[in-house]
Amino acid sequence: MDESPPPEAAGAELVPARRERGVSAVQQVYDHLRHQIINLKLPPGTPIAKSKIAADFSLSQTPVREALLRLADEGLVDIFPQSGTMVSLIDVQHAREVHFLRLAVEIEVQRVLVETIDADGMAELRAWMDRQITELKSGKETAFKQADNRFHDAMFQLAGVQGLTRLLESKRGHYDRIRGLYLRDHERRETVVKEHEVILAALDKRDAAAAEAGVRQHLGKSLAVIDDIRDLNPGYFL
């Protein structure tokens, strides 16, 4: 059964955005479109009309074109000369490679945190855990994913390697869309919270082996059920 909404329905969710002061037009269009794509409000295969985006932002098509080129570099859109632009289909192999990279990095982050995290650092991570629980109870899927990201970003920052979050983000578009499909299920979001609690408990006890095991268990979930996700959304994948 294909649960994917038709592209035209998804495209209707792309509402006009307000311009932000101090941020370039290219950056604003890029950020807005990337958010829509990663959170599947613009599903894979959705056509993108440069003229509509330009009108929504009250811009010429030049900054829109530049933003789309940045998204194309990340593999999030496909640009066909003389034909059009569409949100790229999800590349599972690319997602697996990014997962491999992220797992290796996060295991090392846990090793550092086990040795260095202090009470303030634990309090910060627990605050993001509380935020996730709040968003879980509210049923706000996108807000939950954002809190989840901030939890992991905070660990990178506390380990002193916050620059790696930007590196990974530029490469993880396919991976994040699979993760988004995985987290549509409320019970899976509950599982994420429980797994984060396991990681926090391991850090609190300074247990490196438990922290690594927790990360391996946590990050392996969405790709472990990729066949099921693809069966439910066949039009989303290459």
DSSP 114-129: HHH--HHHHHHHHHHH
Rounded average pLDDT over 11-29? 68
Q: What is the pLDDT of residue 6?
A: 35
Rounded average pLDDT over 137-144? 94
Rounded average pLDDT over 67-86? 94
DSSP 8-state symbol, 48: E
What is the rounded average pLDDT for all residues in the chain? 90
**What is the distance of C-alpha 34 from the center of its chain?**
10
Amino acid at position 166, single letter: R
* CATH topology agreement for domains 7-87 and 92-236: no
The Cα–Cα gap between 47 and 168 comes to 26
Domain ranges of the chain: 7-87, 92-236
Q: What is the pLDDT of residue 22?
A: 72
| Residue 23, helix vs strand vs coil | coil
Q: What is the pLDDT of residue 20?
A: 66
Of 228 and 20, the one with more pLDDT: 228
Query: What CATH number is given for 92-236 in this structure?
Result: 1.20.120.530
- Cα–Cα distance list, 166 to 52, 67, 127, 157, 161 (Å): 29, 17, 22, 11, 10
Q: Give the confidence band of 140 by pLDDT, cuts at 50, 70, 90.
A: very high
The Cα–Cα gap between 45 and 3 comes to 14
Does residue 208 have a pLDDT over 90?
yes
* Structure-token pair, residue 209: 């082996």
Q: Please name the CATH architecture into which domain 7-87 falls.
A: Orthogonal Bundle (1.10)
Whose structure tokens read 């709040």? 134
Task: List pLDDT tens digits, range 43-73.
Answer: 999 999 999 999 999 999 999 999 999 999 9
